[in-house]
Amino acid sequence: MTRQHIRPDDSVCVLKGVGEKKALLLERLGVRTVDDLLHFFPRRYEDRRQMAALKDLIPGGPPLPLRARVVTVEERPGYGARAKHITRACLSDESGVVWAVWFNRRGLARVLVPGTELALFGALKQQPGSPELYNPEIEFLSDGAVSRTTGCIVPVYPSTEGLNERSVAKLIAGVLDTLPNAVSDVLPRFISEKYGFADADSALREMHCPTDEQKFKAARARMIFEEFFLLQIGLALRRRRGVLEKTAPAFNAPPNVQARFLASLQFDLTDDQKRVVEEISADLKRSVPMNRLLQGDVGSGKTVVALMALLQALDSGYQAALMAPTGVLAEQHALTLRKWLAPLGVDVGLLTGGLPAAARKAVLSGLSDGSLRLVVGTHALIQDTVKFKNLGLAIIDEQHRFGVLQRRALSSKAEKGAYSPHILVMTATPIPRTLLLLVYGDLAVSVIRQLPKGRQPIRTVCIGESRVPRMEDFLDREMAQGHRVYWVCPLIEESDAFDASPLELRYEQLRARFPNRRVGMLHGRMSERDKTSVMGDFASGKIDLLAATTVVEVGMDVPEATVIVIENAERFGLSQLHQLRGRVGRGPYQSWCVLYAQPKSRDARERLLQFCRLSDGFAIAEADMALRGPGEVCGVRQHGLTDFRVADLSRDSGVMKTARAEAFSLVKSCANPYSEYPELMSAVMGRYGRLLDIAGTA
């Protein structure tokens, strides 16, 4: 294959020596294209620059890079099960002679012709008799060829069964050799000059085969910058499209339903809620589409804020939608909104997956002819069959459960030409500043920090088996006062379809344990109708104790619930525990969170104790992020936005900020970035076009 024929997005199969089998192995390492291979970087490097002589080898010492000639060679069958075949060779250099031994390398003796020059990397094994060079790495140096394994810094690549580090290294070295200009330089010249970056091609080579420390550091710095820069350009383009190219309806009508709702509300908004309502309202009055993130800890009262925004849309004659990640939560939002809005004569539609056909049809036709102005729903809202007459505002609750993509999906429901609805996303999982800039870089942010007045801090305890009876007595006393209890069981795969699930077992035990209380059960596989009726009964007090899976994790709001028991708490992430704990303490009563756990390690135990001490969602998110990584915690991992090749979000956050500033200022300063920076734009589109839904912007 000549180099003219190889292009970065070709499959690795075009490369010499890569057949179907090797391609499959490479795919296991995440490498499909030539470009993937070029960016498949070593996991570490070995400094073998300092060549040694045979006389420098000491028994039991470290492996050394050597050069020697074959003197004699012999082979024989091995002893024992693992060494079936043994090759031994006597090697010499100017300083001395040494024996080397290899196991199970049939055919090696044939090529170790006396006089052959070898590059080696190996150590002298301490053993009875004379010490030997034990299984050294070898490379044949024909006609004074330059060694790739000695006398230089050697890359060590990730490997997989059937494809070892050396084969990966050889393959990559081969590609770099055939492609003198392996990658094109996508960074604008002025940026490279400003930061003193090497050109892309030499940086790439330096990453694979470092020549010296300074150059390597510079190459890595460039790679990291470039990775962040491409993503930030993508985000800047997305914001630009929002700001420049789209218009949204301005909700300027005087408040009508909104004002009446506020007057009818039984409580005063907190100062934070008022401020956030104002921020959102100001956005909604402009004809630029709002793109705002509302962050507020569990129980801080985001729903009312959302409703204020929904009503502003309504008052201006537009439709508005609220999307929730689970059917149970959508149902609950519908109930809450109906309770508040029925007295004001406003209908609230509900659209979930489990809706009976007739009800679904009614909602769909109401949305398309505009007779239904307010709708709450799940993913069902973004299906193709849903048509809005004039959707003006879309709110997404518990955004971290959806990820970045659905935000676009919902707003694109309403997009016609240059028209786009306003978007508000809400989350209780605080997103650290770095990640915010990174993934939600095109969003404005509002934060609710205070909880409504009169809330008492939730007390959290961690107990083991022995304290369960006392805990159950306590639950009974709580329920006797009319308070309610959640009992959360982790979902464990059932081994046999006829076995009762752990939840069902627990439910039966709890019924037996609390004969005077009404015990209910809730899990994800129940029908929507059953779920609704159980949740309704728990909210109204017909059920005192609810045994549930984590379906209750987000959003559920039952102010009379004062205790949540979390079984096998050690299995949950800290943020998830915090969400679960947020199901209680939503009213004026003292509430409790009981972690019922058998932590197996000291670390696991320490983590739970740490959780007992922490109540602030921001602090918990930080701790969780330190443990599990930011992408995981904020639900962006699966979208690939945080899958960097070299960059590391926590380590390189400073570079990220610089890259962001440069990217945003570049996009802002260009009349048409596509014609001014075609290579940069095509790199951005290739990597992020689909992920960020900006592919069509050109």
Q: Per CB under 5 A, which region of 121-129, 370-378, 416-424, 554-562 contacts Mg ion?
A: 554-562
**Closest approach of Mg ion to the CB of residue 451, in Å:** 13
> Could you tell me how many helices (H) and strands (E) the chain has, helices first?
24, 22
CA-based R_g, the chain, Å = 32
Q: Is 225 helix (H, G, I), strand (E, B) or coil?
A: helix
Q: Is 582 in the site for Mg ion (CB under 5 A)?
A: no
CA distance 550 to 566: 10
Q: Which does 599 bind (CB under 5 to 8 A by kind): Mg ion, ligand ADP, none?
A: none
Q: Is 520 in the site for Mg ion (CB under 5 A)?
A: no
Q: Which is nearer to ligand ADP, 123 or 395 (CB)?
A: 395
| Cβ-closest position to ligand ADP | 301
CA distance 565 to 551: 14
**Closest approach of Mg ion to the CB of residue 582, in Å:** 9
Helices (H), 93-164: 108-111
Q: Which does 152 bind (CB under 5 to 8 A by kind): Mg ion, ligand ADP, none?
A: none
**Closest approach of ligand ADP to the CB of residue 273, in Å:** 6
Q: Is 122 in the site for Mg ion (CB under 5 A)?
A: no
CA quadruple 27, 31, 37, 43: dihedral sign? negative
Q: Which does 490 bind (CB under 5 to 8 A by kind): Mg ion, ligand ADP, none?
A: none
Residue 548 host element (H or E)? strand 545-548
Residue 330 near residue 377 (C-beta atoms within 8 A) = yes
Q: Which is nearer to Mg ion, 297 or 315 (CB)?
A: 297
Find the binder of Mg ion among 299, 366, 555, 689 (CB under 5 A).
555
Tokens coding 213: 């420390």
Q: Which is nearer to ligand ADP, 617 or 630 (CB)?
A: 617
Tokens coding 244: 């420049």
**Closest approach of Mg ion to the CB of residue 423, in Å:** 17
Q: Smallest Cα–Cα separation from 429: which of 523, 242, 298? A: 298
Q: Which does 250 bind (CB under 5 to 8 A by kind): Mg ion, ligand ADP, none?
A: none
Q: Who contacts 478 (Cβ-Cβ below 8 Å, separation ≥6)?
A: 485, 562, 563
Q: Which does 190 bind (CB under 5 to 8 A by kind): ligand ADP, Mg ion, none?
A: none
Q: Which is nearer to Mg ion, 36 or 297 (CB)?
A: 297
Provide φ and ψ at 620, rounded to 5°. Answer: -65, -40
- Total number of residues binding Mg ion (CB under 5 A)? 1
**Closest approach of ligand ADP to the CB of residue 621, in Å:** 15
Task: State the CB neighbour count (10 A cutoff) for residue 2.
Answer: 6
**Closest approach of ligand ADP to the CB of residue 502, in Å:** 28
* Residues making up the chain, counted from first to last: 698
Q: Which does 304 bind (CB under 5 to 8 A by kind): ligand ADP, Mg ion, none?
A: ligand ADP
Q: Which residues bind ligand ADP (CB under 6 A)?
A: 267, 269-270, 273, 296, 298-304, 428, 452, 557, 559, 586
CA distance 283 to 445: 12
Give the CA distances from residue 196 to residues 191, 331, 663, in Å, rounded to whole numbers and listed in that order. Answer: 8, 57, 17
Residue 356 CA, chain-centre distance (Å), reads 35
- Break the chain down into helix, strand, coil percent, rounded to 5: 45, 20, 40
**Closest approach of Mg ion to the CB of residue 301, in Å:** 9
Tokens coding 329: 């939560």
Q: Which does 586 bind (CB under 5 to 8 A by kind): Mg ion, ligand ADP, none?
A: ligand ADP
Q: 314-346 in b/e burial notation, b at 16+ Cβ within 10 A?
A: bbbebbbbbbbbbbbbbbbbbbbbbebbeeeeb
Q: Which is nearer to Mg ion, 206 or 297 (CB)?
A: 297
Q: Which does 452 bind (CB under 5 to 8 A by kind): Mg ion, ligand ADP, none?
A: ligand ADP
Residue 634 near residue 400 (C-beta atoms within 8 A) = yes
Q: Which does 673 bind (CB under 5 to 8 A by kind): Mg ion, ligand ADP, none?
A: none
Q: Which residue has the tokens 């693992």?
A: 82
Q: Is 301 in the site for Mg ion (CB under 5 A)?
A: no
**Closest approach of ligand ADP to the CB of residue 634, in Å:** 17
**Closest approach of Mg ion to the CB of residue 427, in Å:** 9
**Closest approach of ligand ADP to the CB of residue 377, in Å:** 17
Q: Per CB under 5 A, which region of 93-101, 122-130, 466-474, 548-556 contacts Mg ion?
A: 548-556
CA distance 153 to 137: 15
Q: Which does 545 bind (CB under 5 to 8 A by kind): ligand ADP, Mg ion, none?
A: none
Q: Which is nearer to ligand ADP, 270 or 562 (CB)?
A: 270
Would you tell me which residues interact with Mg ion (CB under 5 A)?
555
